[in-house]
Amino acid sequence: MESEHRSGCPINLSLEVLGDSWSLIVIRDIMFGDRRHYRQLLNESEEGIASNILSDRLKRLTAHGLVTKQSDPAHKQRQLYSLTEQSIQLVPVLVQLGAWGRKFLPASPELSIRARILDEGGPELWADFMDELRVMHLGAEPRASAESVFEKLEKAYQEAVAAGRSS
């Protein structure tokens, strides 16, 4: 009856779900890149994920309840992937991972901007961002917000790209 978990340690259990090279990359792309379709995730992937791996990960993430899939009624073959509350709550994990990578690994300046803003913004900013994700993915009611965190991150990224090109 008991599961085949390696142990009941919460860190271990998280790693059993997320402990591979691609799962968090897919979630990152859906979350920060707003890529909601298979081809988008495949072709706009910064790291060049293979189609079978993407397919497998989307299945796994769906099975674990981190992603949901719904078909667009207008475009029948078009599938829309959405985050769930579980994966939205991975924001702090991704922020900390990004902060660590930014500090110790050769991260490119443009791609580090988002990590920096989220790191410096602290838990309040994460919470705002998570609320926006709930609106975008779970259909939650939008709450009045001075400036969308998502847009703020996107804008900063675009500025960094432009600055990188001109310099």
Partner DNA sequence: TCTCTCCGCTTGCACTCTGCAACCGGTGAG
Partner DNA sequence: CTCACCGGTTGCAGAGTGCAAGCGGAGAGA
List of residues contacting a second copy (CB under 8 A): 3, 5-22, 24-25, 28, 46-48, 86, 89-90, 92-94, 96-108, 110-112, 115
Residue 64 within binding range of DNA, rule CB under 7 A: no
Q: Are 59 and 68 in contact (CB under 8 A)?
A: no
* Binding partner of 158, given DNA, a second copy, none, CB within 5-8 angstroms per partner class: none
Distance CA 145, CA 156 (A): 18
Q: Are 103 and 110 in contact (CB under 8 A)?
A: no
Q: Are 81 and 30 in contact (CB under 8 A)?
A: yes
Distance CA 135, CA 71 (A): 19
Distance CA 87, CA 65 (A): 8
- Near DNA by CB under 7 A: residue from 5, 75, 143, 155: 75
- Near DNA by CB under 7 A: residue from 53, 97, 99, 156: 53
- Near DNA by CB under 7 A: residue from 5, 39, 103, 143: 39
Residue with tokens 């300046």: 109
Residue 12 within binding range of DNA, rule CB under 7 A: no
Residues engaged in binding DNA (CB under 7 A): 20-22, 37-40, 42, 48, 50-53, 55-56, 58, 69, 75-79
